[in-house]
Amino acid sequence: MAFKLLPLFLFSLFLAKLALSYEPRNHEVEALISIREALHDPHGVLNNWDEDSVDPCSWAMITCSPENLVIGLGAPSQSLSGSLSGTIGNLTNLRQVLLQNNNISGQIPPELGALSKLQTLDLSNNRFSGVVPESLGQLNSLQYLRLNNNSFLPSWTCLITISVDLFLSCPARTFNVAGNPVDLWKRLYGRVLWISQCWSSLFLSQFITW
């Protein structure tokens, strides 16, 4: 009888050991793996992104804080194509996203608006299209935004919401949307839009590069 129970006991012991050794995967690792899977990487610059890593701080194109939190994603001029996954919104400590000079297409994920610490966002010289999401207006820490030379469509609601929200809180910022195909961008922003918050009278066009 005891001999028959031995295999069951050993199997139970194996399961207990497996449960004790299991660690949930780092949520930043999961988010970055999803981002990689949505991209085509012809030069293999993201090849060392290992889904079994404890954290992604040793990965190429990733910058981490002293606390091993992802604060930078920078892969400019790497011929990346595909789309930008909305899981980027799970990297809540990001301060810098530099993906300029690639061939990334599709829409900007609205989840970017959840990155409250983001200071720099450069998606210029890609193939993004559609309407710029209004959620970018929630990026109150943003200091530098470049969306130029893509294929965005203009939208009254989107443009005015983003411009007002971004520039109301101290406007020492750069905002570039040049090179998008419809001159309506300029016509919309060419209208007089005054903001009085940090300065008594601020003309928005001073801070927009065409």
In a domain, 9, yes or no: no
Q: Examine residue 83 and state whether it is found in any structural domain, yes or no.
A: yes
Look up the domain containing 100 and give its range.
24-209
Highest mean predicted confidence (pLDDT) among 152-156, 158-162, 164-168: 152-156
| Residue 137 pLDDT class (50, 70, 90 cuts) | confident
The whole-number pLDDT of residue 68 equals: 95
Q: Return the CATH number at 140.
A: 3.80.10.10
* 8 within a domain of the structure (yes/no): no
Cα–Cα distances in angstroms (integers) from residue 129 to residues 45, 54, 81, 156, in the given order: 25, 35, 13, 16
7 part of a folded domain: no
Kindly state the percentage of the chain with pLDDT values over 90: 49
Q: With a cut of 60, say whether residue 1 has pLDDT above it.
A: no
Structure token digits, residue 115: 């990155």
Q: List, for residues 106-120, the tens digit of each pLDDT value.
A: 999 999 999 999 999
How far, in Å, CA of 69 to CA of 190, rounded? 41
Number of domains in the chain: 1
Q: Is residue 3 part of a domain?
A: no
Task: Give the span between the Cα atoms of 59 and 110, in whole angstroms.
Answer: 25
For range 92-102, the mean pLDDT: 97
Assigned domain for 110 exists: yes
Burial 160-187 (b: 16+ CB within 10 A, else e): bbbbebbbeeebeeebbbeebeeeebee
Mean pLDDT within 127-134: 88
Whose structure tokens read 């601020």? 202
